[in-house]
Homo-oligomer: A and B are copies of this chain.
Amino acid sequence: MSETVYPLAGAAALERRGLRDRVYDLVLDMLMTADLAPGTRLSIDAIARDLKVSPTPVREALVQLERTGLVTREALKGYRVAPPLAAEQLEALFDARLVLEGGATELAARHAEALVPQLEQALAEHVEISRLVHETAARGEKLSLGLIRDYFAIDWNFHHLIFAGTQNPFLIDMSEAISTRVHRMRQTVKSGVSDADEAVIEHGAILEAFRGGSSDTAAAAMRDHIERVRERARRDVASS
């Protein structure tokens, strides 16, 4: 008796999750880190055996993943890792980002006061991990998958904070759809870590614009950043 009951501390944060959700996280993580060749079959039974669960929750997790665009489904044939983004689709992705993130930046500027300190924090982390990457590279070591993963997470966090700053649940939802595609693109396109310095500078310009309080200036800085990322990605594709 007399079990220690932790009262309300963060009770709202504790949201119960079924097995389905955990399988979803695991498969998502698997798709993000281990770069599977596009078109690889994702056998439901095989995944179920691997994770020691029944096919049912796996099936549901894959239905959910299908809506993110990371996997494709053909009825009665199964799921596959989504094909890589063709050059045309890469352009479309950046067009969509220009629309979405440009607009989101304008809206987020309404709450700039709350947003600026968060972006400062995110940028500081970005600077820090860039330094780490450079040091590792200078020592001639190969960048560990974990480090690359962390770098991408921190880089995207800056963009994510801006979406969150709009306080618009619909835009935040859409940002997640974009997010998965951007992460996937970075697996195929080599770049992403090599342009760390430029990314930091451009993020800094966006932050500065937020400090200024002009939504138009901030949106312009964001659009400029995305266009530059697009250019760097184009060069990478061309050189591969």
Contacts and interface: CB of A to CB of B under 8 A. Distances in A.
Interface residues of A, number: 40
A104 interface: yes
Interface in A86-107: 89, 92-93, 95-96, 98-100, 102-104, 106-107
Contact of A173 (B64, B69, B76): B69
Contacts of A69: 173
Nearest to A61: B63
Interface stretch (A10-18, A139-147, A148-156, A203-211): A10-18
Nearest to A15: B75
A76 B103 CA distance: 37
A170 B92 contact: yes
A169 interface: yes
A41 interface: no
Interface of A is mostly: helix
Contacts of A174: 96, 100, 174, 177
A56 interface: yes
A170 B69 CA distance: 9
A66 to B, nearest CB: 8
A106 to B, nearest CB: 8
B96 A99 contact: no
A178 interface: yes
A224 interface: no
Contact of A60 (B16, B59, B104): B59
Interface string A56-78: 10011001101101000001100
A117 B228 CA distance: 36
A170 B63 contact: no
Contacts of A120: none
A21 interface: yes
Given A75-B17, A76-B16, A103-B103, A96 B171 contact: yes
Contacts of A60: 59-60, 63
Nearest to A170: B96
Given A69-B173, A100-B103, 9 more contacts: A16-B75, A64-B66, A95-B171, A96-B174, A99-B102, A99-B106, A99-B107, A99-B171, A103-B103
